[in-house]
Chain A
Amino acid sequence: MQSPITLTINGSLHHIDIHPGELLRTTLRRLRIYSVKHADETGESGADAILFTRTPEDPTSYRLVNCGLILAAQADGASIISLEGLEEEGEESATRSRKEALSPRLSALQQQFIECGAIQCGYCTPAQMLAAQHLLDKDPQPSEAAVRAAIAGVLCRCTGYLKPVQAVLRTAAQLQGKTPPPLEIDVGDAPATGEWPTPDELPPDGWRGDGPDTQTQTRSVPVTVAPPQTQVVNKAEPKVDAVKLAKGRPVFTDDVEMPGMLYGGLLTSPVAHARILSIDTSAALALPGVHAVQTYADLPRVIYASGGQSYPQPPPYDQVCLDSKVRYVGDRVATVAAETPELVQEALERIKVEYEELPAVFSPEDAMQPGAPVIHDEEDAQMIHDAKGNIAVKLRVDLNDVDDAIDSAAFVFESEYRVHQVQQSSIEPHIVITYWDEDDRLVIRTSTQVPFHVRRMVAPLLGLPVRRIRVVKPRIGGGFGGKQEMLLEDLCAHLTIETGRPVKFEYTRKLEFTSSRTRHPQRLRFRSGVDASGKLVAMDVRVVADTGAYGTHGLTVQMVTGFRALSTYWLPAARFDCDVVYTNKPVPGAFRGYGAPQALFGLEQHMEEMALAFGMDPVEFKRINWVKEGQSLPMAVAMGEGREGFPQVVESSGLAECVETGAASIGWDRRNDPEWKAPPDRPHIRRGIGLAICMHGTGIAGLDMGAASIKLNDDGSFNLLVGATDLGTGSDTVLAQIAAEALGVPLEQILIYSSDTDFTPFDTGAYASSTTYISGGAVLKAAEDVSRQIRRHAAAHLFDGTDADQLWLEGQKVVAPDGQAVPLETVALHSIHQEEQHQIMATASHMSYVSPPPFAAQYVSLEVDTETGQVTVERAAMAVDCGIAINPVTASGQVEGGMTQALGYALCEEMPYDHTGKLQIDRFGDYRILAADEMPQLDTVLVQTYEPTGPFGAKAIAEIPMDGMAPAIASAIFDATGVRIRQIPFTPERVWRALQREES
């Protein structure tokens, strides 16, 4: 039964009929207020925050509330302000520059969010800005603490909050008539030689104050190699998609209206391991408005692997769309398509499933025991290493004779570490919309990191040829690897195929935790030998990894674990022995860092412990052993992406400088200050500082391929089409900067579009830290080709036959050595309309047989409460060698956001289970993502080197910030207390127990 309500939204009165249970968020989105986002059902995300009052005549009465926790009926008569209500009107202008275009049409806050780089994926941005604006309306000069408290209810998984806080503080200054200081992104032409930059002086107590300027510092210190003289690259350009995200425009998968759209839903298994004896869907189908219920009996059984990876998919192939057996609590059982989400839920609850429960196993150790329940006993699974033994994948790589080397070593050390399961938790859940287009082609509009893989992978499951499928990737509200997976597209498409109707399928937050993807837990055992001088002679790494119920990414994640464990330090002999084991738990997959955070948690502690046991300073021990420029990475050949790799030599490394500048930033010398370490006025507190060395990869050598097309338009602008997938990282901006630089135009002359399998060329997708390097390489090639075509045409027709190689592009013109210049617009019009008519355009592909490693030093300072075990990180500093930063703002944003996720991995994020395999958390809050008001100070230092194989000297930066935090914290806890903790997360109880053991 519907009833009418009235709402005043952004000053306009609306009369609308609502259902009794309808959320205000649903109503607002029906009214096309798309800035309010669904991220959860219990309000902790705050992505749907609005300003709400019943007394609009009093402007101070507005309160920030979550419209997903208010029934629309409750809001009857209320006044609401959404982000759309903050906009300022302005005049359109066809010729204004990018920055001129921004200023008249955006609020000061929106401008600052853009200029500061405070927007990454943009999914939480509308709510975050609304919360900030609400604060500024009440408190025009807020402290940093007030800003952090104001936005704390809006979780951000991308930024680490530093840049949003910075944007709000700068807005406050601007609104007070002050000129905010220049952004602390200091990237200039670095000296090729000379002295190191002097780090900021720390006060005598070692801690900076809490003033509003301290925690908003982001410093980029150019160090070793002068970058090329550039106009666009290596500049802090605003993100090309920032305006639409700042304005909350409908850019995400969910932000479309489709006539006749149905809603999809998933019934999941309540038991960890069972055969389905029967499913009765009749009661569900009897509900008016339910259009389809699908079970294993309704869908073709096609074996596949769900990880979004290159062809052929790495094994094992152990999944089908819907199966007659369930293998974890949360596994797929049945799907429903119905007219409303409420009907979907009712229908799901009416499906009767009879299970024959089977014994289940929840640890790899138990699963590998003789007689353990066999999780994959189906006959049609393919390429499982040992199905009866529950071993999905077995990896064994030997470099020279490890045993012999260790036997002859001067000193041998062995230690073991454990890492746990965590979840990507992008604020935008997995969401897909599928529909038939007018040509009977299936369109899949999906929040994915891998649109081209999805198209290839879903085709056989649907029985459709690839040519009849189009995958469209709108803006993505974060992915972090969780969307490097074909997770829902097949189910949603099957429902469209059966019903003929558009279907929207979106996960709840609970389903995100139970039924999407996670990070692989591992047990890692290291055994190493060193010679008398402290040089490593061999390392033997044994890993047992938990891949949950399915093997997706199980091979390749663990391969990366092995490669990172055995390549960060140079080893004459090495062994990686790994079992990837099935258990009856939710499924790990790709997660930012992809096996490296696990490896480095073990490796960095192992190295530190070994140094101390051997009697060396750990930093010096690491320094003499880490890989250096000119050294090879021998394990790279044996450990490719599920196949043999390619020889690698380190061409660039700023690691020594990272360690040096990071140490200065964190105040490393405080480790020697007894009063700092044990403050006399707080006897239960111990302080410590820790360090971890990080090394990552840049794309997958010999495998990742990206392509780009560039077309010259009549006015001298360019369309840039890329298959690369910007999931909030700013890759669209970076790729456009590369094109702009090569074509001699400002950034606004590049119109980038990504990605649509019908219109953009192929790209493997956004993973493996590959986009800037691989896709950027393609963009650079295509741009250089277009440049050649422009110069050739101009030389032939507009420069009287001048040698085209003597011309160059600069300032939107073709320029000759004699100073003659012809605008690109003239060349474009001439080439299209006047002589030798043709379209100047080019497509290029790029693949690299090398994967140059970025390096970093991660530092942490913290306090340990020795009575309770509570660890409080006070400051984290990361110095990163990412090559030349194509965009220092987006690069530093990657570091800040990555460090924040890594803090959660180390401290508070956890997926606990009960004895039946049921996950004990199903909401944010219990799954604790750090909020703005509990962050430590973050310092980012970009230590630029020039990578000769990268576009404009670039390497990767997206994943390395994930790698070093946990071992750095372990190191700092040891420094503070003398207690070594070899398992994460460092919860109060785990630390307390370790302290208790040490005491006893």
Chain B
Amino acid sequence: MAILAEYHKPTSLAQAFELLSDSASRRVPLAGGAYLVGALETRQRRDIEGVVDLAGLGLSFIEQDGAYLHVGAMTTITDLIQHPLSAELAGGILPDTARYEGPLNLRNAATVGGLVAIAEPDSETYAALLALNASVMTVDPSGLETSSPLQEFTDARQAPSQAPSLITGIRLPLGQAAAGHARIARTPMDRCIVAAVAVIRADGKSSRPEPADGGGNNASASVALCGLGPHPRLAGGPHIPEGDFKGSAEYRLAMVDVVVRRARAAAATHL
């Protein structure tokens, strides 16, 4: 049961920060609710007394900003994948992967900000954003806006001393890239056990500026992986997966090469 004492719907970021900064009232931001309301209902989250609904902050938008696509944090997954610019990006990798975030009725409520904030280990759309070199835009109580690469942002949120900030949106580079996607799941539409997303620029280069490494990212492809840790990650680093009922750590590790190879091959066919 959602046992809440308060519901707030601020109309400015300042109001939102004021509500959220009162640590005694145990308030948290509420985006679409697809995750949080369920967590409240199941009592998975019992540490919350109030929610601050971000729907009144004007953060639901998609607009082109030069060579980037700027997506507001309260934009739903459906709106993201239906927008012509994002739908075409890298041959449609965002709609391709978003199908596996859940069915339509969940995608209609879930937001980009929520997807980025939760960074579920099997979120293939998050992996696609990683491979597309997305940045996360945040603002702190002083109004300072910051842009961080998605993976850095997620890593930083794990730090206990994380300063309060709100996700306002993401930025996606609009390069003419191709992408490929490979996944392993119990059923065709189940959330993945392991998956990979590979993105290649039109010139055959990786969408990421980093130099080549030995784990899947190189000059020709940026690869992100799901199911190998607490959050999806760019390929290349060490994988220390935790096994669960869907697949053991050993199985997940053994599948990395398969899904990376297939994702890269699929991307190559789309060039």
> A63 in the interface, Cβ–Cβ < 8 Å?
yes
B-facing mask of A911-943, CB < 8 A → 1, else 0?
010000000111101101011011000000000
Of the residues A150, A868, A910, A934, contact of B255 by C-beta under 8 Å? A868
Q: Enumerate A977-1000 residues with CB–CB distance to B below 8 Å.
A: 985, 987-989, 992-993
- Interface centre among A21, A68, A346, A985, by most B CB within 10 Å? A21
- In the bound complex, residues from chain A placing their C-beta under 8 Å from that of B40 are 21
Q: How many residues of chain A have a CB within 8 Å of chain B?
A: 64
> Chain B residues with Cβ under 8 A from A69's Cβ?
33-34, 37-38, 106, 109
Is A65's beta carbon under 8 Å from chain B? yes
Does B43 make an interface contact (CB < 8 A)? yes
Are the CB atoms of A1 and B5 closer together than 8 Å? yes
Which of B33, B50, B191 touches A70 (beta carbons < 8 Å)? B33
Contact at B103–A908, with CB atoms within 8 Å?
no
Q: How far does the alpha carbon of A931 sit from the alpha carbon of B1 in the complex, in Å? A: 27
Chain A proximity of B160: nearest CB distance (Å): 26
Q: CB-CB < 8 A to A152: which residues of B?
A: 103-104, 189
State whether B104 touches A988 (Cβ < 8 A): no
Chain B residue numbers with a CB within 8 Å of A923 are 42
Q: Looking at B2, B42, B191, B255, which has the most chain A CB atoms within 10 Å of its CB?
A: B2
Shortest CB-to-CB span from A24 to chain B, Å, is 9
Question: How far is A390 from B43 in the complex, measured between Cα atoms in Å?
Answer: 35
Q: Of A41, A76, A341, A928, which contacts B186 at CB under 8 A?
A: A928
Cβ 8 A contact of A910, one of B104, B106, B245, B254: B245
Closest Cβ neighbor of A870 among chain B residues: B184
B30 touches A989 (CB 8 A): no
- Contact present for A988 and B184 (CB under 8 Å): yes
By beta carbon, the residue of chain B nearest A921 is B245
Given contacts A74-B55, A920-B245, contact A41 B3 (CB under 8 A): no
Tell me which residues across on chain A come within 8 A of B106, comparing CB atoms.
Answer: 43-44, 66, 69, 153
Decide yes or no whether A231 CB sits under 8 A from chain B. Answer: no
Known contacts A1-B5, A922-B42, A989-B247; A70/B189 CB under 8 A: no
B232-271 residues at the A interface, CB under 8 angstroms: 244-248, 251, 254-255, 258
Q: Does B9 contact A (CB under 8 A)?
A: yes
- The answer on a CB contact under 8 Å between B3 and A71 is no
Report yes or no: B247 in contact with A346, Cβ–Cβ below 8 A: no
A150-B104, A868-B258, A989-B251 known; A21+B186 contact, CB < 8 A: no
Q: Taking the complex as formed, is A398 at the interface, i.e. its CB lies under 8 A from any CB of chain B?
A: no
B51 within 8 A of A: yes
Minimum CB–CB distance from A524 to chain B (whole Å) comes to 23
Do the beta carbons of A71 and B2 come within 8 Å of each other?
yes
Q: Is the CB of A988 within 8 A of B38?
A: no
Q: Are B104 and A64 in contact (CB under 8 A)?
A: yes
| Residues of B close to A346: CB separation below 8 A | 3
- Assess the B189–A934 pair: CB atoms within 8 A: yes
- Any chain A CB within 8 A of the CB of B108? yes
Contact of A925 among B50, B191, B251 (CB under 8 A): B191
Q: How far is the CA of A928 from the CA of B188 in the complex (A)?
A: 11
Which one of A1, A65, A870 has the highest number of Cβ atoms from chain B below 10 Å of its Cβ? A65
Cβ-neighbour of B38 out of A22, A41, A153, A154 (below 8 A):
A41
Q: A43-B105, A66-B106, A69-B33 are in contact. Are A987 and B50 (CB under 8 A)?
A: no
For A931, give its contact among B6, B33, B189, B254 (CB under 8 Å). B189
B185 within 8 Å of A by Cβ?
Answer: yes
Q: Given the complex, which residues of B lie within 8 Å of A65, measured CB to CB?
A: 105, 108-109
Chain B residues with Cβ below 8 Å from A63 are 76, 78, 108
Point out the residue from A342, A930, A934 that lies within 8 Å of B1, measured CB to CB. Answer: A342
Neighbouring A residues of B187 by C-beta, 8 Å: 907-908, 928, 930, 934
A908 and B186 alpha carbons, distance in the complex (Å): 6
Q: Do A64 and B105 touch (CB < 8 A)?
A: yes
- Bound state CA distance, A812 and B220, in angstroms? 79
Complex contact B109–A70 (CB within 8 A) = yes
CB distance from B124 to the nearest CB of A (A): 15
Interface: A450 (CB within 8 A): no
Instruction: For chain A, residues 1 to 57, give those with C-beta under 8 angstroms from any C-beta of chain B.
Output: 1, 3, 19-23, 41-44, 46, 49
Residues of A within 8 A of B203 (CB): none
Instruction: Determine the residue in chain A with the shortest Cβ distance to B188.
Output: A934
Cβ-based interface call for A73 (8 A): yes
Residue of B nearest to A993 (CB): B251
A298 within 8 A of B: no
Cβ of B53 within 8 Å of any chain A Cβ, yes or no, is yes
A567 in contact (CB, < 8 A)? no
Interface residue? B193 (CB, 8 A): yes
Chain B 31-65 residues near chain A, CB threshold 8 A: 33-34, 37-38, 40-43, 46, 50-51, 53, 55
Contact of B37 with A23 in the complex, beta carbons under 8 Å: yes
Task: Say whether B4 faces chain A, with CB atoms less than 8 Å apart.
Answer: yes
Contact for B184 among A20, A49, A68, A868, CB less than 8 A: A868
Chain B residues near A920 (CB-CB < 8 A) = 244-245
A908 touches B190 (CB 8 A): yes
> From residue B188, how far is it (CB to closest CB) to chain A in Å?
4
**Is B5 touching A20 in the complex (CB atoms < 8 A)?**
yes
CA distance A43 to B105 in the complex (A): 8
Q: Decide if A46 touches B105 in the complex (CB within 8 Å).
A: yes
Q: Nearest CB to that of A903 among chain B residues?
A: B187
Complex: A589 Cα to B223 Cα, angstroms = 47
Measured CB to CB, the closest approach of chain B to A685, in angstroms, equals: 12
How distant is the Cα of A908 from the Cα of B191 in the complex, in angstroms?
Answer: 12
Whether a CB of chain B sits under 8 angstroms from the CB of A599 is: no
Task: Give the interface centre of B2, B4, B187 by most chain A CB atoms within 10 Å.
Answer: B187
Complex interface: chain B residues within 8 A of A987 (CB): 186, 246-247
In angstroms, Cα B6 to Cα A22, docked, is 11
Q: Does B102 contact A (CB under 8 A)?
A: yes
CA–CA, A631 and B104, complex, Å: 53
Residues of B within 8 A of A907 (CB): 186-187
Q: Which residues of A contact B258 (CB under 8 A)?
A: 867-868
Q: Which of A508-534 contact B (CB under 8 A)?
A: 508, 510
Q: Mark A327-361, 1 if CB is under 8 A from B, else 0.
A: 00000000000000110111001000000000000
B residues within 8 A CB of A20? 4-7, 50-51
Residues of A within 8 A of B185 (CB): 870, 988
Name which of B33, B40, B104, B255 has the most chain A CB atoms within 10 A of its CB: B104
Cβ-defined contact, A345 with B245, below 8 A: no
A74 CB contacts on chain B under 8 angstroms:
7, 9, 30, 33, 53, 55
A929 closest partner in B (C-beta): B187
Residues of B near A349 (CB, < 8 A) are: 43, 46
In the bound complex, do residue B43 and residue A345 qualify as a contact, i.e. CB atoms below 8 Å apart?
yes
Which residues on the B side are within 8 Å of A345 (C-beta)?
1, 3, 43
Pick from A23, A42, A49, A510: contact of B105, CB under 8 Å: A49
The minimal Cβ–Cβ distance linking B38 to chain A, given in whole angstroms, is 4
- A149 CB within 8 Å of chain B: yes
The answer to whether B188 and A42 touch across the interface, beta carbons within 8 angstroms, is no
- B77 CB to closest chain A CB (Å) equals 11
Q: How far is the CB of B78 from chain A (nearest CB, A)?
A: 7
* A268, CB-defined interface residue at 8 Å: no
Those of B209-248 within 8 Å (CB) of chain A: 244-248
Which single residue of chain B is at the shortest CB-CB distance from A63? B108
| Given A23-B2, A65-B105, A73-B53, 11 more pairs with CB closer than 8 A | A21-B1, A21-B4, A21-B40, A22-B2, A43-B109, A49-B105, A64-B105, A68-B41, A912-B244, A920-B244, A928-B190
Q: 9 closest Cβ contacts across the A-B interface?
A: A153-B103, A21-B4, A912-B245, A21-B2, A41-B41, A42-B38, A153-B105, A934-B188, A908-B186
Binding site for B on A (CB under 8 A): 1, 3, 19-23, 41-44, 46, 49, 63-66, 68-71, 73-74, 76, 131, 149-150, 152-154, 341-342, 344-346, 349, 508, 510, 865, 867-868, 870, 872, 907-908, 910, 912, 920-923, 925-926, 928, 930-931, 933-934, 985, 987-989, 992-993
15 A-B pairs with C-beta separation under 8 A: A20-B6, A20-B50, A21-B7, A22-B2, A41-B41, A42-B38, A69-B109, A131-B105, A345-B43, A868-B184, A868-B255, A928-B186, A928-B187, A988-B184, A988-B251
